[in-house]
C-alpha cells in the first residue's frame, strides 16, 4: 500500500464512540489537512478541545446533537446513507473552542481540520443552505454539495465539499492540481478524499501524480478508504455498475480554490 492510501483502522475511544479513520500530521504527508471519521451509537458522547485549528463537523449519516461552548445544535443530519444524495447538516467550529458530539441515532460523522489562529463565530451550515452543482458532460458527470466553499466567509482555511460520480464516469477530471502558490492562476491547497461506494463492495481507481513524477501512485480504493493529495493531479475513475461518493477536505495558506489542468489532457474540455 502506498503512503497516500489510508485504510480504515477501527479504534474504540470511549463507550459507543469508534474512530475508523484518523489522518494526522503524524501519520500523513499533509501539513494543512487533518481528518477523522467517527461512528457513534445512540447516546454516545465525544468531546474535543481545538487548539490552533478549526473544524468542520459533517453529519454524514444518522442524527447527532452538537454543543459548542454554550451553543447547542440539536437533531442534525438528514440521511440514512450518503447515497440518499441529499445535502446534510454541518457545523463550523473555530480554533481554541471546545465541542461535544452526542449520537441521537447510530451516526457516522466526519471531522475536518486545518490550522487556524483567527477565531470566528460558530456557524450552523443547514442542509438547505448547501449549494448543489451538476458538473461535466459525457463520461465526466458528477454532482457536488458545496458545504464550505471558498465563497463562504465563515472559515479561515477549510474548504469542504461532497462529490457524487455516476457509474462509469470520471471526476476530478481532466486531471487538475492546486499545488503552487501562484495566484491568481493557481493556489496551494492540500486535499484529502474520503471514499464510499454503492454497492459497498465496489472500488474506484484514483491516480495522484506530479509533472516530474516524483509522486506517481495509482490506487485501487475501497469503501471507507482515504486518499491523500499533498501535491499533483488526482483524477478518479468509477467502474461500471458502481456509484462513487467522496468527501473532499482542502486547506492551504490562502483559502482560494484555483486549479490548473494537466495540459496533456485539457483538450477534452473542447469536445
Domain boundaries, given as residue ranges, for the chain? 5-270
What is the arithmetic mean of pLDDT over 35-42?
98
Query: For the structural domain made of 5-270, what CATH number should be given?
Result: 2.60.120.10
Distance from C-alpha of 145 to C-alpha of 267, rounded to nearest angstrom: 26
Average pLDDT over residues 38-57: 97
User: In the structure grid, which three cell numbers stand for residue 200, read together?
Assistant: 459497498
Q: How far apart are CA 67 and CA 124, in angstroms?
A: 11
Q: What is the pLDDT of residues 176-224, one digit of tens each?
A: 999 999 999 999 999 999 999 999 999 999 999 999 999 999 999 999 9
- For 3-23, give one letter per residue: b (16+ CB within 10 A) or e: ebbbeeeeeeeeebbbbbbbb
CA 111/CA 119 separation, integer angstroms? 18
Partners of 135 in beta bridges: 142
Sequence-ordered list of residues with C-beta below 8 angstroms from that of 101, at least 6 positions apart, any chain: 38, 40, 45, 46, 47, 57, 64, 65, 66, 109
Record the pTM: 0.96
Rounded Cα–Cα distance for residues 123 and 32 (Å): 21
At residue 174, the pLDDT reads 94
Q: Pick the closest to residue 5 from 193, 179, 159 (CA basis).
A: 193
Strand-pairing partners, residue 186, are 182
Cell of 101: 458530539
The number of beta carbons lying within 10 Å of the beta carbon of residue 215 is 21
What pLDDT digit, counting tens, does each position of 144-182 carry?
999 999 999 999 999 999 999 999 999 999 999 999 999
How far is residue 229's CA from residue 250's CA, in Å, rounded to a whole number?
9
**Which contiguous run of DSSP H or E holds residue 64?**
strand 64-68
The average pLDDT across 111-131 equals 97
Using the 8-state DSSP alphabet, how is residue 140 labeled? -
pLDDT at 243 over 60: yes
What count of residues does the chain have? 271
pLDDT of residue 29: 95
- Give the pLDDT band (50/70/90) at residue 2: low
Share of the chain above pLDDT 90, in %: 97
Amino acid at each position: 500500500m502506498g503512503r497516500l492510501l489510508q485504510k480504515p483502522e477501527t479504534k474504540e475511544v470511549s463507550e459507543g464512540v469508534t474512530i475508523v479513520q484518523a489522518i494526522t500530521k503524524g501519520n500523513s504527508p499533509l501539513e494543512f489537512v487533518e481528518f477523522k471519521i467517527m461512528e457513534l451509537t445512540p447516546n454516545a458522547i465525544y468531546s474535543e478541545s481545538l487548539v490552533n485549528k478549526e473544524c468542520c463537523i459533517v453529519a454524514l449519516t444518522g442524527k447527532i446533537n452538537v454543543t459548542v461552548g454554550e451553543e447547542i445544535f440539536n437533531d442534525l443530519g438528514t440521511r440514512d446513507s450518503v447515497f440518499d444524495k441529499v445535502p446534510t447538516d454541518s457545523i463550523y467550529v473555530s480554533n481554541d473552542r471546545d465541542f461535544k458530539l452526542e449520537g441521537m441515532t447510530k451516526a457516522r460523522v466526519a471531522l475536518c481540520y486545518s490550522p487556524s489562529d483567527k477565531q470566528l463565530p460558530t456557524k450552523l451550515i443547514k442542509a438547505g443552505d448547501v449549494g448543489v452543482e451538476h458538473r461535466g458532460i459525457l463520461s465526466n458527470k458528477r454532482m457536488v454539495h458545496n458545504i464550505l466553499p471558498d465563497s463562504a466567509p465563515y472559515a479561515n482555511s477549510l474548504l469542504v465539499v461532497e462529490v457524487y460520480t455516476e457509474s462509469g464516469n470520471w471526476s476530478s477530471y481532466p486531471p487538475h492540481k492546486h499545488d503552487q502558490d501562484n495566484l491568481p492562476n493557481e493556489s496551494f491547497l492540500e486535499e484529502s478524499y474520503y471514499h464510499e461506494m454503492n454497492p459497498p463492495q465496489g472500488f474506484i481507481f484514483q491516480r495522484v501524480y506530479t509533472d516530474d513524477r516524483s509522486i506517481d501512485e495509482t490506487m485501487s480504493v475501497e469503501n471507507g478508504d482515504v486518499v491523500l493529495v499533498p501535491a499533483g493531479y488526482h483524477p478518479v475513475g468509477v467502474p461500471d455498475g458502481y456509484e462513487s461518493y467522496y468527501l473532499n477536505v482542502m486547506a492551504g495558506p490562502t483559502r482560494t480554490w484555483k486549479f490548473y489542468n494537466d495540459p496533456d489532457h485539457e483538450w477534452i474540455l473542447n469536445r
